[in-house]
Amino acid sequence: MPVMTYVQAVGRGLWEEMERDPAVLMIGEDIGVYGGAFKVTDGFLAHFGRERVIDTPISESAIVGAAVGMSYLGLRPVCELQFIDFIACCFNQITNFVAKSHYRWGAPVPMVIRGPAGGGVHGGPFHSQNPEMYFVHTPGLKVVCPSSAYDAKGLIKAAVRDNNPVLFFEHKFLYRRVKEEVPEDDYIVPLGQAAVRREGRDLTLVTYAAMVQVCLDAAEQLEKEDGLACEVIDLRTLLPLDKETILSSLRKTNKLLVVHEDTRTGGIAGEIAAMVMEEAFDQLDGPLMRVTSLDTPVPYSPPLEEYFLPNAAKVVKAARDLARY
């Protein structure tokens, strides 16, 4: 099995889908000759040609709009946003045109919008954002946030094949830091299924994307230093949310700590809090707690960004509080 980085795995998944299905197209800024700002589509233009690898002007609303039109013909366009922060520039097309199309008039929009999200690389306020909740709160979309190279390939392939619009947020901190064996097979990781990354009976850490490793590190430390056995759930897909995996872990550990890199107020932890109260209030032996980024823009300077982001130490501290509860 070849060893691949997370970013290579995304590219590999897209390449395979393009080989498999001529209906799959790529559209975005600098994705052709240059192969994309992070080289996800490197070599695609030479191999697949300019009709399938469309370099666009700096026009995010045109990228998404044109992809909608193509998808209406049964094509499966994949839009690259150079940094996911620029998704704000096509917010209207996504939330009003794309998300509501099938509900309103039965026109499916099989397309993917993908790009590099997340912080930890000193990208500052406009190259580090985590916009997932804007879209989790928009009925009609699916939202995917892979944490491993294996998942990155399997999930992007599932996203391309899905008959609904999928937002695929790649974490740029993981792009080259995650490196692992990835099968060459044509496999998919189904959307809407969380994964248990570590089993434990004392408390459950629910997380996704770059925070998965942070939680695994924290769990390791908690095991060693406190003898606490933490279960770690990687959500993988935020919408639709895999409630069952969360609830069955809760039934075992009776305590949930949600960790997300997204800012605190209105983050996914709140949605999970409401969901577990509705579904399993009597299973809670303590409050759902959360470790998140601060409610600020993402600051630029390294000490500020570190202070802003969650890390293993913050997770350990919160987990200890929760365990003691």
Partner 1 sequence: MALSRQQHLELYYWMQLNRKLEDLLTVMFRQNKVVGGVYSSLGQEATSVGTAYALEKRDWIAPMIRNLGAVLVKGYRPRDILMQYTAKSGSPTGGKDGTAHFGDLHEKRMVSPISMLGDLIPVMAGIGLGARYLGRNEVALTWIGDGGSSTGVFHEGLNFAAVQRAPLVLVLENNQWAYSTPNYLQARLIDFADRAKAYGIPGVIVDGNDVVAVYETTKQAVEQCRRGDGPVLIESKTFRRKGHAQHDPAAYVPKWMLKEWEAKDPILRYEKYLTAKKLWTEKEKNDILARIDRELKEGQAEAEASPLPPAERAAEGVYCDGCHEIRAEWKRSPKPVKPGKNTAQWFEGKSPALAPSLGASQERKEKAVVGPSNPGHGKNAKLKKHKKQRKQRK
Ligand X SMILES: Cc1ncc(C[n+]2csc(CCOP(=O)(O)OP(=O)(O)O)c2C)c(N)n1
Paired strand residues for 88: none
Using CB under 8 A as the binding rule, whether residue 301 contacts a second copy is answered as no
Q: Which is nearer to a second copy, 62 or 88 (CB)?
A: 88
Cis check: omega of the bond before 297, within 30 degrees of 0: no
Choice among 127, 137, 171, 260 that is catalytic: 127
For binding to ligand X (CB under 6 A), which residues are involved? 29, 58, 60, 82, 86, 89
Q: Which is nearer to ligand X, 82 or 213 (CB)?
A: 82
Task: Supply the minimum distance, in Å, between the C-beta of residue 287 and partner 1.
Answer: 23
Using CB under 8 A as the binding rule, whether residue 157 contacts partner 1 is answered as no
Cα distance from N-terminal residue to C-terminal residue, the chain: 45
Q: How far is CA 135 from CA 89, 99, 130, 156, 225, in A?
A: 14, 9, 11, 17, 39
Residue 120 touches which member of partner 1, a second copy, ligand X, none, C-beta under 5-8 Å by kind: none
Paired strand residues for 26: 53, 78
Using CB under 8 A as the binding rule, whether residue 9 contacts partner 1 is answered as no
Beta strands in 62-199, from DSSP E residues, in sequence order: 76-80, 112-117, 142-144, 166-171, 179-181, 195-198
Q: Is 127 a catalytic residue?
A: yes
Task: Supply the minimum distance, in Å, between the C-beta of residue 272 and partner 1.
Answer: 21
Q: How many CA atoms lie within 13 A of 266 on its CB side?
A: 11
Say whether 198 sits in a helix, a strand or coil.
strand
Q: Which residues are catalytic?
A: 127
* Contacts with a second copy, residue ranges (CB under 8 A): 85, 88-89, 91-92, 95-96, 99-100, 103-104, 125-126, 133-134, 136-137, 139-140, 239, 241, 263, 265-275, 277-278, 281, 284, 286-290, 294-297, 299, 325
